[in-house]
Amino acid sequence: MPEDNIDHVNFDDINAKAISSPLVKHMYTADPAVHVFENKIYIYPSHDINAGEAFDDLGSHFAMKDYHVFSMDHPDGEIADHGMVLHVDDVPWATQQMWDSDCCEKKGKYYLFFSAKDAAGIFRIGVAISDSPKGPFKAQAAAIENSFSIDPCVFKDNNSSYYIYFGGIWGGQLQRWREGKFNGQNHESPTAFLPLNKEAALCAKVAKLSDDLLNFEETPKDVVIKDENGIPIVQGDINRRFFEASWMHVYNGKYYFSYSTGDTHLICYAIGDNPYGPFTYAGVILEPVIGWTTHHSIVEFNSKWYLFYHDSILSKGVTHLRSIKVTELTYDANGFIHTIKPYK
């Protein structure tokens, strides 16, 4: 449920109807990226704070400054906070807005990929490295060369290649890169430079990572989502087009690209045959939650699948003060995901 519809919400009532409770209550957490390392569940969320920034469509009020790492022995178990693992002040190139992150492992090292604004106010993607999934992480001196926008998701394929998915429109600035360079000023409307409604929608990006995981091995490609007729989803198809929050997982040999539709508040997915796609739209994973944003990850643990997500019930609907949650995710006999209602 988007924030502009919460004026008359009874939060005690809606909380009673919620299918899950916040995993973390001593701080606000969002955008959970979840992986199984060392037979435990590790969660790499954003850390929401009330920084006093004005609310706007550019996301200025999402003024996060650091990251914490959490772990669980089981989705039904207790959650451990391993503390702050990276702060914006410790990132040489970053100045503000430590947005969504993700983590992967290679040869005993753990790589935290994160989005933040540089000195010019442009979102870039950085990498920080640790010897432990718990952190702390040490940031590289510079952002990934030629990186842009937000919401990195790193996916290790069966052949041990690593791919990074990223991008977000409006405050995520993806629409400003349509000509291959950053266009416009940061104070401009977030809808400037968007395609027309009948034009193909903006796509998330995907690139194979270099062997050291510190650079793009190739120029990022579009993650094309097609409809049932094989036609790319158009910008005006706001219930199906990509907005932000890329995630990739594999189920029964198929590649599932999932994402948020942003201003229509759905988590959707599309299915393809390889990490690059194209992907065919397949349906809705999660219906709208309390709060304006919706963001997720999907992970298998002990032969069951789980959806990690967030909502703003704990903060009584404050859209930039969110809380991560988890619920089981299931598939039908044909591999389609059963749609989840976050409130009964």
Residues 7-24 have a mean pLDDT of 90
6 pLDDT band (50/70/90 cuts)? low
Query: pLDDT tens, 104-117?
Result: 999 999 999 999 99
CB atoms within 10 A of CB 45: 29
Query: pLDDT tens, 139-193?
Result: 999 999 999 999 999 999 988 899 999 999 999 999 999 999 999 887 889 999 9
Q: Cα(73)–Cα(76) distance, rounded to whole angstroms?
A: 8
Beta-bridged to residue 216, according to DSSP, are 209
The pLDDT, as a whole number, for residue 330 is 98
* pTM as predicted: 0.97
Q: What is the DSSP letter of 96?
A: B
Q: Is the pLDDT of residue 2 over 80?
A: no
Query: pLDDT tens, 79-102?
Result: 999 999 999 999 999 999 999 999
Entry field: residues in the chain: 344
Query: pLDDT tens, 192-201?
Result: 999 999 999 9
DSSP letter for each residue of 169-220:
SGGG-GGGGTTSS--S-TTS-TTTTPPPTTSBPP-EEEEEBPTTSSSBSS--
Give the CA angle between residues 284, 285, 291 to the nearest 5°.
95
Residues catalogued as catalytic = 31, 244
Helix/strand/coil for 5: helix
Query: pLDDT tens, 246-286?
Result: 999 999 999 999 999 999 999 999 999 999 999 999 999 99
CATH no. of 3-329: 2.115.10.20
Give the CA angle between residues 195, 102, 171 to the nearest 5°.
30
135 pLDDT band (50/70/90 cuts)? very high
CA distances 208 to 5, 164, 225, Å, are 40, 6, 19
Q: Is the pLDDT of residue 1 over 80?
A: no
Query: pLDDT tens, 204-237?
Result: 999 999 999 999 999 999 999 999 999 999 999 9
The pLDDT, as a whole number, for residue 8 is 66
CA distances 337 to 75, 84, 185, 285, 306, Å, are 19, 34, 40, 6, 11
Average pLDDT taken over every residue of the chain: 96
Domain locations in the chain as residue ranges: 3-329
